[in-house]
Amino acid sequence: QALLGQLGQMILSGGIDVVDCSGVLGPETPLLKLPPELAKDTPPIKIHRISEYDQDGPFWAWNWLELGEHSGTHFDAPHHWITGKDYSDGYTDTLDVQRLIAPVNVLDFSKECAENPDFLLTIDHVKAWEATHGEIKAGEWVVLRSDWDRFADDEAKFLNADATGPHTPGPTAEVIDYLIAKGIVGWGSQCIGTDAGQAGGMNPPFPAHNLLHKNNRFGLASLANLDKLPAKGAILIAAPLKIKNGTGSPIRALALVPK
């Protein structure tokens, strides 16, 4: 088939760019902080050296990690949320990989998010975006471009929490329902999770998590470099590790972008 041959040639020749949509994974990577009275947190990321060309391995260097499934740039599988617990194909090792590579709609509300860290995306915002860029279609990814990755090297700024909790942008419940009705495969954010910082107080609580996973859709969080993607026309590859009964996974998200 000619299409994949052309694709290979275009990537090799640089006619298509492969954009890295992941942030660095290490001890400095920002992690979610939940209210301690409510829940346990994911533990800190640790990298332990096994050897580095030394008495523990003369010719090789390697490490092992303590790593949460929902750490850094990561994927949320349906089993992550109670609403998605009964999907047999809702785990990282049982989901359908055909769904993971799809056209991506990049909704740029970075200006609004810079002005208001509690910015919430509504159906009206999406309809206006579709009027300009074209309809969002079944099977596609939808990501909110907030340019929040510019804070990813500073956890305090990334989480942006005060006495009233974290203040980061995200979707309304209504917009997630609207996108699910369109048939999207999943929703992605550049913030710590798929939901807004204040989403614990919404109805339902954490609506992106609740509604996406109830409907066997996927979530993506801490995405990077969305400013390098067009509104439409790129392909997003977002594949979790095949963790046994996994609820999610750090990912190396990549986008194919026309030049």
Ligand X SMILES: Nc1ccccc1C(=O)C(=O)O
Query: Which residue from 30, 186, 188, 240 is in contact with its own copies, where contact means CB under 8 A?
Result: 240
Q: What residue 193 binds from ligand X, its own copies, none (CB within 5 to 8 A, per partner kind)?
A: ligand X
- Applying CB under 6 A, the site for ligand X has a residue count of 13
Contact between 32 and ligand X by CB under 6 A: the answer reads yes
Give whole-number Cα distances, 232 to 23, 142, 240, 257, in Å. Answer: 22, 10, 23, 10
Contact between 206 and ligand X by CB under 6 A: the answer reads yes
Q: Between 11 and 61, name the residue whose CB sits nearer to ligand X.
A: 61
Contacts of 72 (CB under 8 A, 6+ apart): 22, 23, 24, 25, 29, 45, 222, 250
Q: Find the binding residues for its own copies in span 72-91 (CB under 8 A).
A: 72-73, 79-83, 85
CB atoms within 10 A of CB 83: 18
Contact between 76 and ligand X by CB under 6 A: the answer reads yes
Q: Between 209 and 217, name the residue whose CB sits nearer to ligand X.
A: 209
Q: Between 34 and 65, name the residue whose CB sits nearer to ligand X.
A: 34
Query: Which residue from 6, 89, 111, 157 is in contact with its own copies, where contact means CB under 8 A?
Result: 6
Nearest to 21 by CA among 243, 240, 238: 238
SS3 (DSSP) at 170? strand
CB atoms within 10 A of CB 147: 17
String of contacts with its own copies for each residue 52-71, x by CB under 8 A: -x--xxxxxxxxxxxxxxx-
Contact between 60 and ligand X by CB under 6 A: the answer reads yes
Contact between 250 and ligand X by CB under 6 A: the answer reads no
Q: What residue 195 binds from ligand X, its own copies, none (CB within 5 to 8 A, per partner kind)?
A: ligand X
Q: Examine the residue annotation and report whether 133 is marked as an active-site residue of this protein.
A: no
Structure tokens at 152: 């990813």
Structure tokens at 170: 């995200």
Q: What residue 126 binds from ligand X, its own copies, none (CB within 5 to 8 A, per partner kind)?
A: none
Q: From CA 207, how far away is CA 197, in angstroms rounded?
A: 12
Contacts of 92 (CB under 8 A, 6+ apart): 69, 75, 77, 240, 241, 242, 243, 245, 246, 247, 248, 249
User: Out of 70, 74, 79, 80, which one is annotated catalytic?
Assistant: 80
Question: Counting every residue, how long is the chain?
Answer: 259
Residues that bind ligand X (CB under 6 A): 32, 34, 57, 60, 62, 70, 76, 80, 193, 195, 206, 209, 221
Which residues belong to the active site?
A: 80
